[in-house]
């Protein structure tokens, strides 16, 4: 079982941006083991920038990131991976030239893991590049989970995908968290992600403007929408 006393992730007063362009301002955020935390907010709010900073692709200009209770300073991406961080970016992370079967073999996905999405079984001989968007994202999630992460950072889980695929992906995210993995997920469909999330942060213009239990937002979708528009 996960140690629930230890946070999987903590951002303290985080600021970051691109060159002289500051995007994130004083972001404070936590993810506990076993939690699904949704990161919501309008286009350009800074969600991708935050995830990329947490994963180590962007260097913070201020504040700090703690992984599993320890400050990770300027730790490079690959070391964060070794610590148990898995990042799924907007671009689908599959091996374009390998078939589904080869990809699963490469990451040593076995048994239940390899069979996470039955739809992929029919595509075992198809190369990653030739899969549909939904199949690619199912494969990307399977590959990410095969690394047995302790913290999963997901950007735009279901962008452009069919509702049924989105629901299937989100169900898998929930069951993954139930095994003790902390999940921070950006998902355009707020209602769907809130159905599986424990808490949600709302970002606007580089700042976290609200943090509430998912139940709260589910009961006040209008209030949530107003935050996007204001
Ligand atoms: N490489 C970059 N160089 C300069 N500015 C950038 C870069 N990438 C993003 N930005 C700016 O940072 C701000 C936040 O963008 P970001 O992509 O993090 O937001 P987001 O909430 O993920 O938006 P979306 O939902 O549209 O993906 C935007 O104003 C964007 O123009």
Q: Contact at 8 Å (CB) between 53 and 62?
A: no
The answer to whether residue 193 is domain-embedded is: yes
Q: What is the 3-state secondary structure (H, E, C) of 142-169?
A: HHHHHCCCCEEEECCCCCCCCHHHHHHH
Confidence of residue 182 (pLDDT cuts 50, 70, 90): very high
C-alpha span between 159 and 175 (Å, rounded): 21
The answer to whether residue 140 is domain-embedded is: no
Average pLDDT, the chain: 92
- What tens digit of pLDDT does each residue of 22-66 get? 999 999 999 999 999 999 999 999 999 999 999 999 999 999 999
**Complex ipTM, two decimals?**
0.95
The answer to whether residue 109 is domain-embedded is: no
- The finding on whether 204 has its CB within 6 A of some atom of ligand 1 is no
- What tens digit of pLDDT does each residue of 197-212 get? 999 999 999 999 999 9
C-alpha span between 80 and 145 (Å, rounded): 15
The answer to whether residue 74 is domain-embedded is: yes
What SS3 class is residue 12? strand
User: Which residue blocks in 56-177 are alpha helix, DSSP H?
Assistant: 77-83, 100-106, 111-114, 118-121, 133-146, 163-177
**pLDDT greater than 60 at residue 1:** no
- The finding on whether 20 has its CB within 6 A of some atom of ligand 1 is no
The answer to whether residue 115 is domain-embedded is: no
Report how far apart the first and last C-alpha atoms of the chain are (Å, whole number): 42
- What tens digit of pLDDT does each residue of 81-128 get? 999 999 999 888 899 999 999 998 888 877 777 778 888 888 889 999
The answer to whether residue 117 is domain-embedded is: no
Q: Which residue has the higher pLDDT, 1 or 177?
A: 177
Number of alpha carbons in the 13 Å side-chain half-sphere of residue 44: 4
| For the CA of 49, the nearest atom of ligand 1 | 18
Q: Contact at 8 Å (CB) between 11 and 55?
A: no
Q: Contact at 8 Å (CB) between 199 and 37?
A: yes
- The finding on whether 78 has its CB within 6 A of some atom of ligand 1 is no
**pLDDT greater than 70 at residue 5:** no
What total of structural domains would you count in the chain? Answer: 1
- The finding on whether 182 has its CB within 6 A of some atom of ligand 1 is no
Residue 158, φ and ψ in degrees, nearest 5:
-125, 25
Domain coverage including residue 154: 9-92+149-229
The answer to whether residue 22 is domain-embedded is: yes
Please tell me the pTM assigned to this model: 0.93
- The finding on whether 205 has its CB within 6 A of some atom of ligand 1 is no
Query: Which one, of 108, 161, 117, lies nearest residue 141 by Cα?
Result: 117
Average of pLDDT values for 116-144? 91
The answer to whether residue 127 is domain-embedded is: no
> How wide is the angle at C-alpha 69 spanned by C-alphas 153 and 198, nearest 5°?
45
C-alpha span between 13 and 65 (Å, rounded): 9
Indicate which residue's Cα is closest to atom 5 of ligand 1: 18
Q: How many CB atoms lie within 10 A of CB 23?
A: 21
User: 77: domain CATH number?
Assistant: 3.40.50.300
Indicate which residue's Cα is closest to atom 25 of ligand 1: 43
């Amino acid at each position: 079982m996960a140690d629930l006393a230890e946070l999987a992730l903590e951002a303290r007063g985080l600021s970051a941006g691109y060159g002289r362009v500051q995007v994130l301002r004083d972001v404070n955020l936590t993810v506990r083991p076993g939690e699904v935390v949704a990161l919501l907010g309008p286009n350009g709010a800074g969600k991708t920038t935050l995830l990329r900073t947490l994963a180590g692709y962007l260097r913070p200009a201020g504040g700090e990131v703690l992984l599993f209770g320890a400050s990770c300073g300027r730790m490079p991406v690959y070391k964060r991976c070794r610590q148990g961080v898995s990042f799924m970016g907007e671009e689908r992370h599959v091996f374009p030239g390998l078939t589904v079967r080869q990809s699963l073999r490469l990451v040593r996905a076995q048994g239940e893991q390899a069979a996470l999405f039955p739809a992929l079984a029919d595509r075992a001989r198809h190369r990653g590049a030739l899969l549909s968007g939904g199949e690619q994202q199912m494969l990307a999630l399977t590959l990410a989970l095969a690394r047995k992460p302790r913290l999963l950072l997901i950007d735009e889980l279901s962008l452009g995908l069919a509702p049924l695929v989105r629901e299937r992906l989100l169900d898998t995210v929930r069951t993954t968290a139930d095994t003790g993995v902390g999940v921070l997920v950006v998902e355009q469909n707020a209602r769907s992600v809130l159905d599986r999330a424990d808490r949600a942060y709302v970002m606007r213009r580089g700042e976290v403007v609200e943090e509430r239990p998912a139940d709260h937002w589910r009961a006040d979708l209008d209030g949530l929408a107003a935050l996007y528009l204001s």
